[in-house]
Amino acid sequence: MQDVFVIGSRGLPAQYGGFETFVEELVKNQQTPMVRYHVACLTDDKTGHHFMYEGADCFTIKVPKFLGPARVIAYDLKAIAYALDMIKEQAIKNPIFYILGNTIGGMIGPVAHQIKKVGGQLYVNPDGLEWKRSKWSKPIQAYLKHAEKKMTQAADLVICDNKGIESYIKQAYPWAKTTFIAYGTDLSASSLRQDSQVVRDFFDNWSCQEKAYYLIVGRFVPENNYAYMIKSFMKSKSQRDLLIVCNHEENPYFERLRQETGFDKDRRIKFVGTVYDRELLTYLRQEAFAYLHGHEVGGTNPGLLEALAHTNLNLVLDVDFNRQVAQDTVLYWKKDDDSLTDLLDAYEKELDFSALGQKAKQLMRESYTWERIVEQYEELFLDEG
């Protein structure tokens, strides 16, 4: 039996995207009984409560909210300390610690030493280039870059979910041992239909209809290039709408973006807020005329995988991370003057992109199903553990 302690997600059941979804799919799609997962879960209640979820042993860790940005560091450190106590109490042999993210990298030395003392191995998933995100101040960016380096020095293995990230890690930190295992996605079509009430309520509310809109879905942050995409769309001749699904409510970036672009003067641009109904969000992807993807910081973005799995025409920012995933199944644009506007106008009158869509779906089936991803993780854990 190989015990794997997963540290760094907010826990199960998943209520957010990214790492939380990854951990949920990892345990839900488990194929071998020879791996036993222990998952740290952030709570406001108490540390040490255990519960089972999809066969995984979940343990709760309480961290005060007043710590602010340092809360995630305290959470990871407390979770590792609790896991080490469990290992000693239960005499667990050769555990694997799989830490998601580089946040605790600045303090990883003593932690790695404690893991080695109990016969464990330390695996790390660096996620994307967190230190490049504009939401962080310069001092925090500097810490995150330092943390990234320290994590590569301490880790027995760095697991990258994007080949572009793996190439970056190898080049920046030649001492690091790396491997590539992709992020996964669900290829299932939405259970909703055109006449479903929730579908008609959504489209009526936003005065829109199927195939009459472009779609953007993603975290509402500047490095996802909302400003460029909106300005490019405003310059286009499109008669369709631009539906933007994001957490813009009470976000100061929303007002900055309005002042920079003047999107409020263009009736086509509609910020629809967040869509928590997964079936509805999948339906919106399926029925979009095209999906716009402007992410440029980080590894395999889950939103891009979902677009490739469900949307026929995807217009994607041309950076290495995105090319490693989408390959030749999308149309690419650069952040040059009218690159995206020209693309929008060039394809506005075409209606059938099913061949491109089938090519993207085939790529997802071959390399990005959760079943395949979990199989690769289990092989790794059992071979290396």
Q: Which pLDDT does position 16 carry in this prediction?
A: 66
Please give the residue range of the domain that contains residue 59: 2-185+369-379
Question: In this structure, are 226 and 156 located in the same domain?
Answer: no
The string of DSSP codes covering 123-147 is EEE--S-GGG-TTS-HHHHHHHHHH
Question: In this structure, are 39 and 170 located in the same domain?
Answer: yes
Question: In this structure, are 179 and 307 located in the same domain?
Answer: no
Q: Write down the mean pLDDT value for the chain.
A: 93
Rounded Cα distance between 385 and 376, Å, is 14
Instruction: Give the helix/strand (H/E) hosting 215.
Output: strand 213-217
Q: Which pLDDT does position 345 carry in this prediction?
A: 97
Question: In this structure, are 356 and 375 located in the same domain?
Answer: no
Number of domains forming the structure of the chain: 2
Residue 385 belongs to some domain of the structure: no
Neighbours of 168 (CB within 10 A): 19
pLDDT at residue 385 greater than cutoff 60: no
pLDDT tens across 258-287, in order? 999 999 999 999 999 999 899 999 999 999
Looking at residues 18-43, what average pLDDT do you find?
A: 95
Residue 191 belongs to some domain of the structure: no
Percentage of the chain with pLDDT > 70?
A: 97
pLDDT tens across 237-264, in order? 999 999 999 999 889 999 999 999 999 9
Cβ–Cβ under 8 Å, residues 231 and 225 = no
Question: Residues in the chain, how many?
Answer: 385
Question: In this structure, are 30 and 168 located in the same domain?
Answer: yes
Residue 336 belongs to some domain of the structure: yes
Residue 192 belongs to some domain of the structure: no
The crossing angle, in degrees rounded to 10, of helices 278-287 and 197-205 is: 60
Q: Which pLDDT does position 250 carry in this prediction?
A: 86
pLDDT tens across 176-198, in order? 999 999 999 999 999 999 999 99
Question: In this structure, are 304 and 158 located in the same domain?
Answer: no
Alpha-carbon separation of residue 348 from 50, 92, 304, 329 (angstroms) = 54, 60, 21, 18
Looking at residues 74-82, what average pLDDT do you find?
A: 97
Tokens representing 177? 């041992």
Question: In this structure, are 206 and 155 located in the same domain?
Answer: no
Residue 190 belongs to some domain of the structure: no
Question: In this structure, are 71 and 82 located in the same domain?
Answer: yes
Cβ–Cβ under 8 Å, residues 191 and 279 = yes
Question: In this structure, are 171 and 154 located in the same domain?
Answer: yes
pTM to 2 decimals? 0.89
pLDDT tens across 110-150, in order? 999 999 999 999 999 998 667 667 767 788 888 888 989 99
Three-state DSSP class for residue 167: helix
Alpha-carbon separation of residue 302 from 164, 249, 326 (angstroms) = 15, 22, 12
Percentage of the chain with pLDDT > 90?
A: 81
Contacts of 43 (CB under 8 A, 6+ apart): 11, 49, 60, 61, 62
Question: In this structure, are 204 and 309 located in the same domain?
Answer: yes
User: Taking the alpha carbons of 151, 155, 161, 167 in that order, is the dihedral positive or negative?
Assistant: positive
Question: In this structure, are 231 and 330 located in the same domain?
Answer: yes
Q: Cα 227 from chain centroid?
A: 21
- Whichever domain contains 267, its CATH number is 3.40.50.2000
Closest by CA to 160, choosing from 379, 15, 376, is: 376
Question: In this structure, are 180 and 307 located in the same domain?
Answer: no
